[in-house]
Amino acid sequence: MFPDRLTLQHEAFHALLMLRPELRIEGAIALYRQGESSFARAAELCGLSQEELKHILAARGIFREVPPLEQEDFEQAAEALRKAGA
Amino acid sequence: MKVLLDTDLASAFAKVEWLELSVRLFAGVDLGIAFEVYKELLVPLEHDYYFPEAVFAVCETLYPHPEEMVTIQRRLVDMKALGRGELETITICQARGWFYAAIDQKAMAQYAFRGVDKPLSLQGAFPCISHLCSQGQ
């Protein structure tokens, strides 16, 4: 059977997600929104393509925000590119 | 100089028809995608989205070397917050000293590039290249 309680819980959780795929999507979106996973990883966890997940997020009114570039970041990136011979 | 794009950024640039323009503007900047990103972009192509063709037209597809594949396998276990395409792109960039350009803050936060603690971001990559080109560098 199962060697210990933790393994049992682990297997039960996996079985639940397999039987209730909608929970995978909810969980993956929650992880993404909390910053615990990247967008690409969230799509993988859902078992969807990135385009499909974008549609689901858009349908729910969830928009992806890209923070503005700070001057320091710009200068850092410019310096890295300069060193690389861009 | 080579810049590797992840799936998200390559898709975004292709959709706004920026990729071909970038190649024309920034001579000497080679755009590439990792093989895993190539596979991810095949999915929308199968579903009749045509923007991946623009990516394939201008980006060289790069395959991980055997030693890089070992690193990717390890990271699949250790870095569960990132997708397979991101892990492959990051690993190739770090191993070969190329630039990694992305949108995702989570992916960029986990990447360090040659003493620079942030990779090129969507907002940063092309304005920076444009800035340097305008200075004649």
More confident residue, A76 or B72: B72
- The CA distance from A52 to the nearest CA of chain B, in Å, is 9
Q: Are strands B120-121 and B60-62 parallel, antiparallel or unpaired?
A: unpaired
Residues in CB range of A58: below 8 A, 6 or more apart: none
- The CA distance from A45 to the nearest CA of chain B, in Å, is 9
User: Which residue ranges in chain A fall short of pLDDT 70?
Assistant: 67-70, 73-74, 76-78, 80-86
Count Cβ atoms below 10 Å from residue B66 Cβ, excluding itself: 6
Contact A40 B132 (CB under 8 A): no
- The CA distance from B67 to the nearest CA of chain A, in Å, is 23
Q: How far apart are CA B48 and CA B69, in angstroms?
A: 31
Q: Does B27 touch chain A (CB under 8 A)?
A: no
How much is the pLDDT for A40?
92
Q: What is the rounded average pLDDT for all residues in chain B?
A: 79
Of B7, B26, B128, the CB nearest to A78: B128
Of A25-34, B2-11, B20-29, B68-77, the poorest mean pLDDT is in B20-29
How much is the pLDDT for B115?
40
What pTM did the predictor assign? 0.80
- Both tokens assigned to A56: 């689901």
Q: Are strands B30-34 and B2-5 parallel, antiparallel or unpaired?
A: parallel
Contact A35 B105 (CB under 8 A): yes
The model's pLDDT over B90-126, given as tens digits with 9 standing for 90+, comes to 899 888 878 888 777 666 666 544 344 445 555 455 5
For the segment B54-75, the average pLDDT, to the nearest whole number, is: 94
How much is the pLDDT for B15?
87
Q: Which chain B residues are within 8 Å of A76, Cβ to Cβ?
A: 116, 118
How much is the pLDDT for B114?
39
Domain borders along chain A are 5-84
Task: Say yes or no to pLDDT of B8 above 90.
Answer: no
